[in-house]
């Protein structure tokens, strides 16, 4: 670091004692930094997601958190888009997807943190559309008629 602490031009005992103290402090600081770095690494590794092992042709969903959708409200827009097949892995943590050319707002290379693997459906009920289930449940429930409206805006 700039100057060599071990070399002295003065042979006085005060200088040697001062250099000894500085070296001890420097060693303590090094040990504290090593300990802090180990603790930080341990915390980081504990919360880090494991790497997604995808291969060419696998289907994935794309998270829409950072995409502007043509919905009047973010609450009404889709949470995920897809299913898109993987073309290839690009770099350490990105994948190139086969996205339709009409979707201009989505770049085909997406970081793995915004991808969710597609899990095949297990039960027949999972493949039914949600609006069909809602329609069926409305037809099966007993509907009550309103007798009188007491107040309105």
d(CA 81, CA 85): 12
Class of the CATH-defined domain 52-120: mainly beta
More confident residue, 99 or 12: 99
| Least confident residue range of 12-21, 32-41, 115-124 | 115-124
Q: Under a CB-based contact definition with an 8 Å cutoff, are residues 97 and 56 in contact?
A: no
d(CA 37, CA 19): 27
pLDDT tens, residue by residue, 114-137: 898 888 777 776 665 544 444 444
Both tokens assigned to 2: 């700039």
d(CA 18, CA 15): 5
Both tokens assigned to 11: 């042979």
Q: What is the pLDDT of residue 4?
A: 61
Domain residue extents for the chain: 12-48, 52-120
Question: 66 pLDDT exceeds 70?
Answer: yes
């Amino acid at each position: 670091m700039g100057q060599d602490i071990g070399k002295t031009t003065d042979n006085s005992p005060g200088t040697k004692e001062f250099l000894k103290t500085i070296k001890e402090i420097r060693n303590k600081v090094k040990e504290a930094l090593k300990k802090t770095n180990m603790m930080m690494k341990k915390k980081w590794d504990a919360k880090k997601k494991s790497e997604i092992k995808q291969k060419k042709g696998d289907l994935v969903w794309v998270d829409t958190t950072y995409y502007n959708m043509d919905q009047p409200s973010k609450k009404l827009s889709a949470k995920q888009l897809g299913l898109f097949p993987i073309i290839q892995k690009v770099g350490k943590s990105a994948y190139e997807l086969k996205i339709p050319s009409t979707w201009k707002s989505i770049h085909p290379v997406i970081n793995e943190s915004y991808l969710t693997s597609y899990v095949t459906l297990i039960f027949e009920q999972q493949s039914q559309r949600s609006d069909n289930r809602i329609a069926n449940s409305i037809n099966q429930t007993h509907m009550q008629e309103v007798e009188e409206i007491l107040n309105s805006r």
